[in-house]
Amino acid sequence: MKIFMERWLLPLISFVIGGGLFALYLVSIGESNGFTWLITVYSAIMAHTFMVVGLFIASRPRFLEKHIGMPKMYETHAVMTLLACLIILFHIIHFWSGVGAMFRSLTTIFGYLAFICMLCGLLSGMLSLSGMFIQKFPALLKIKEGLNREVMLWVHRITGIGAIVFAYLQQFFTFTRFVQPYFTALTIVTFGTIAYYLIWKLSIAMSSKFEVVRIEKETPTLWALELKPVNGKLPTYRPGDYFSIYLKDVDGVGSEAHPFSVSSAITEEFPDRIQFMIKESGDWSGSLDKVQVGDKAKLDGPYGDYYQPAIEASDKPFVLLAGGIGLTPNLAIIRHEIEESTQRRIHLIWALSLKEDTFMLDDLEAFKKDNPNFDYDLIYSVDEVENYDHGFISDKFLEKIGVHELYGDAEFFICGPGVMINATKDLLLNNEVEQERIHIDEFDF
């Protein structure tokens, strides 16, 4: 069911909305001018619907995100934008004979403006958010690295909303505005979604602030950031959830949101504050040395479904597979399980590149004392570290440490770089671990 929702729920919503608008159009107009005309009208309505649903996705609706996951939502958002661009491009070439008709009327002017905004939105999204397309084109990846992410995000937002408004106006300046109740429904869907997006943005701006109570380096490239709510009320979150962090009032640090998994859990150790482990990997994370205790932040969230209530309620063993900073959500799960004294069998496998990336070994040893059924193993892919394995997570390594005995029953949690996630997931599937028992936390969006 979860796989179905991840792949098809948002496309299904789009086709239901688009199909409903198309049906209203046919009922309202009361006649048909042939199959080609029907395809033309339907495709134009679907292009508009794809843009509107894309804006809805950009609002990060939690009631859907908990079932689909943000990476899948953003993938759908990117695909819908691409499809909308292709549909409108076909209309321009086939019906408007290219750019020559741009200034023919207000209808064509707004139509071309919508297409230009869509293209700008697609490109700016690729160069600021999505790794779905850009990873396949090294030249675009190089361009992305040289651009200001915050500027590109604003371009993406403005052109995205602009495309929707211009596409609406393109229909308004045709006879379509007289086609009722279709045009009323189109107006409600269009501006209702824009209002939903703006209300979400306003809710973040008006949300409670958090104060930085700790900012320290755990390793040469890893920051521990701890935030405490100014009003004393800690948001309810589950282990493995993540928040988008805003540091708008800190000089030298970008004001745009950046998503990070929580490494803390609501425990005696963290009763009134949230901890994040942040690896230096870009301009924003590389500027955290400018953040000081007492600085203010805002959080949007929580998001995520890594550690689901039904799985927590079971007595199955857990195998936590972490690559580098992918330890973060798994650490939150361990802390929660220790706090609840479940005595569940938990095995952490932590894959690292360098010895200097290692931290919290004392904490892991303390967890073993609190829960005799907890164990952990580290493996390094670059440095050769005494008393630890060298290489990558493999069948041979998992058999050596006894994890192969858990293939038939355990719940597996994977978090790390994309390559590590894919390789580990394939390894588990090849060993007949059911897809439903493999839980993934991606952070490449």
Binned at pLDDT 50, 70 and 90, residue 370 comes out as: very high
Q: Can you point out the beta strands (E) in 196-252?
A: 210-219, 222-229, 242-246
Binned at pLDDT 50, 70 and 90, residue 36 comes out as: confident
Tell me, yes or no, whether 161 and 298 share the same domain.
Answer: no
Report the distance separating Cα 296 and Cα 210, nearest Å.
Answer: 6
Tell me, yes or no, whether 334 and 356 share the same domain.
Answer: yes
Tell me, yes or no, whether 126 and 256 share the same domain.
Answer: no
Choice between 131 and 216, residue whose per-residue pLDDT is larger = 216
Q: How many domains does the chain have?
A: 3
Helix (H) or strand (E) holding 165: helix 149-172
CATH of the domain at 289: 2.40.30.10
Measure the CA angle with vertex 320, ends 315 and 321; round to 5°. Answer: 155
Tell me, yes or no, whether 257 and 299 share the same domain.
Answer: yes
Q: Which of 327, 426, 337, 341 is nearest to 377 (CA)?
A: 327
Choice between 31 and 153, residue whose per-residue pLDDT is larger = 153
Of 154, 188, 205, the position where a domain reaches its end is: 205
Report the distance separating Cα 442 and Cα 110, nearest Å.
Answer: 38
Report the distance separating Cα 67 and Cα 127, nearest Å.
Answer: 27
Please state, as a whole number, how many other Cβ atoms lie within 10 Å of the Cβ of residue 188.
11
Note the pTM of the prediction, 2 decimals. 0.87
Please state, as a whole number, how many other Cβ atoms lie within 10 Å of the Cβ of residue 8.
13
Tell me, yes or no, whether 293 and 397 share the same domain.
Answer: no
Does pLDDT of 129 surpass 70?
A: no
Q: Is the dihedral of CA 209, 215, 218, 219 positive or negative?
A: positive
Burial environment of residue 31 by CB neighbours within 10 A (0 to 12, 13 to 18, 19 or more) = exposed
The 10s digit of each residue's pLDDT in 191-238 is 999 999 999 999 998 998 999 999 999 999 999 999 999 987 899 999
What pLDDT score was predicted for residue 103?
74
Q: Is the distance from CB of 233 to CB of 208 less than 8 angstroms?
A: yes
Measured in residues, the chain has a length of 445
Q: Is the distance from CB of 267 to CB of 339 less than 8 angstroms?
A: yes
Domain around 266: 210-303
Q: Is the distance from CB of 311 to CB of 340 less than 8 angstroms?
A: no
What pLDDT score was predicted for residue 40?
83
Binned at pLDDT 50, 70 and 90, residue 445 comes out as: low
Residue 153 carries which side chain, given as an amino acid letter?
L
Task: Provide the edge-to-edge strand list for the sheet that holds 318-323.
Answer: 389-390, 374-380, 346-352, 318-323, 411-415, 438-441
Residue 132 carries which side chain, given as an amino acid letter?
M
Tell me, yes or no, whether 215 and 127 share the same domain.
Answer: no
Q: What are phi and psi of 132, to 5 degrees?
A: -65, -45
Does pLDDT of 41 surpass 70?
A: yes
Report the distance separating Cα 309 and Cα 305, nearest Å.
Answer: 9
Tell me, yes or no, whether 285 and 409 share the same domain.
Answer: no
CATH of the domain at 161: 1.20.120
The 10s digit of each residue's pLDDT in 277-321 is 999 887 888 899 999 999 999 999 999 989 999 999 999 999 999
Tell me, yes or no, whether 367 and 401 share the same domain.
Answer: yes
Q: What are phi and psi of 344, to 5 degrees?
A: -65, 150
Report the mean per-residue pLDDT for the chain. 90
Report the distance separating Cα 91 and Cα 431, nearest Å.
Answer: 49
Binned at pLDDT 50, 70 and 90, residue 135 comes out as: low
The 10s digit of each residue's pLDDT in 320-353 is 999 999 999 999 999 999 999 999 999 999 999 9
Helix (H, G, I), strand (E, B) or coil at 346: strand
Does pLDDT of 1 surpass 70?
A: no
Tell me, yes or no, whether 86 and 189 share the same domain.
Answer: yes
Of 153, 183, 205, the position where a domain reaches its end is: 205
The 10s digit of each residue's pLDDT in 69-97 is 888 888 899 889 999 999 988 887 777 76
Q: Which of 140, 280, 132, 166 is nearest to 215 (CA)?
A: 280
Tell me, yes or no, whether 288 and 355 share the same domain.
Answer: no
Choice between 138 and 403, residue whose per-residue pLDDT is larger = 403
Report the distance separating Cα 350 and Cα 393, nearest Å.
Answer: 9
Binned at pLDDT 50, 70 and 90, residue 100 comes out as: low
What pLDDT score was predicted for residue 218?
92
Largest alpha-carbon pair distance within the chain? Answer: 79
Choice between 149 and 292, residue whose per-residue pLDDT is larger = 292
Tell me, yes or no, whether 299 and 313 share the same domain.
Answer: no
Tell me, yes or no, whether 250 and 104 share the same domain.
Answer: no
Of 170, 185, 205, the position where a domain reaches its end is: 205
Helix (H, G, I), strand (E, B) or coil at 231: coil
Does pLDDT of 130 surpass 60?
A: no
The 10s digit of each residue's pLDDT in 407-426 is 999 999 999 998 999 999 99
